Amino acid sequence: MYSIQLNWLSFSVDMNTVETWMKANAGPYYMGNSSDNALTLWFSQQPDPSISAAIATYWAALTNASPETANYQSKSTRQTAVSTALASAQAKLTALGLTGAEIAALIGH
């Protein structure tokens, strides 16, 4: 396995958007990524230097105004959205006459 490590940026990015770009542009040997102190991109074979350069250019070009940052949602934002959706579903199911047990069986809460 081969890897490229990218330093984390000073702002948050939506890793789904970054992963979509990587799958489309990082070549056929791109296997995915892992993260801890840096973003590590994994390859089954050593990537071509032009691919490595394209990845470095892409990462360096990200800014606070990039789509990758605009799409980012914090964990608390996602949790709030899920809670709101669950509350709405529970209210609608209650209005349809379902019991608490039936609602819990349907949506798991």
CB 33 within 8 A of CB 42: yes
3-state helix, strand, coil in the chain (%, to 5): 50, 15, 30
Q: What tens digit of pLDDT does each residue of 64-76 get?
A: 777 777 666 666 7
Structure tokens at 108: 């798991």
Q: What tens digit of pLDDT does each residue of 28-81 get?
A: 999 999 988 899 999 999 999 999 999 999 999 988 777 777 666 666 766 787
For a pLDDT cut of 70, what percent of the chain falls above it? Answer: 92
Measured from the Cβ of residue 3, the count of other Cβ atoms closer than 10 Å reads: 14
Strands (E), the chain: 2-7, 30-35, 38-43
Structure tokens at 56: 């470095």
What are the beta bridge partners of residue 7?
38
Instruction: Report the C-alpha gap between 3 and 42 in whole angstroms.
Output: 5
Strand order in the sheet with 30-35: 2-7, 38-43, 30-35
